[in-house]
Amino acid sequence: MQKIKLILGSASPRRRELLSHLGIPFEIRPSNINEDSDIKDPFTHSLEIAFRKNVALLDDKTLKNEIILTADTIVAIDGKILGKPKDLLEAKEMLSLLSGRTHTVATAIVVSYFKNGWKHWKHVEMTHVTFAKISEETLERYLKTGESMDKAGAYGIQGSSLSFITKVEGCYATVVGFPLGVFLNFMEQHLSQEFCWEKPWRSYFTSI
């Protein structure tokens, strides 16, 4: 049985936590790329960044028994992409823009694997999130938590922002940063057939 190593190309603790729910070993190998892009469409924007992260790892003498997984999450509203705020002032501006409205969260995942040459599987999951009108007091309180500073759109759905989120249409994990169910389905339905894995397919993965 050929052992396979799963590589998560992200330093995000949220993606690490979500992926750990699958019960398979994986190695964290962040790809430090420039994530700037002029693309305004959330689907294309997130996919481009996720693919660039993936390719950066493939260039690093990737072994053929590795599966490379990368992802990128963006928040979009009014044709504008909201990335990670550079300071609290920008975080406040972002949250004020989202207040009382519905926005889109897009998370792209790219999986690369070697099977008679390198193959790439790409997917973008999109979820719509609605905020209640955020009062000034609630906004200031949230900013003081520090949760805004490393998250697209200046909020993390798994934290204190739940107090002003009124509706989530779509996959909750997509907003956290990784559509876990989509990836699990890909592993069970596509990769299992591609590599002719026998059950249990998780036994093919190793941390060595």
Alpha helices in the chain (DSSP H): 13-20, 42-58, 88-98, 136-145, 172-176, 180-185, 192-194
Which CA distances in Å does 16 have to 49, 59, 87, 206? 18, 23, 25, 16
Rounded to whole angstroms, the Cα distance separating 38 from 10 reads 22
Query: What single letter denotes the amino acid at residue 11?
Result: A
Cα 88 to Cα 95: distance, rounded to the nearest angstrom: 10
Catalytic residue among 72, 78, 87, 150, which?
Answer: 72
Active site residue 59: no
In whole angstroms, what is the distance from residue 113 CA to residue 51 CA? Answer: 13
Provide the annotated active-site residues.
Answer: 72
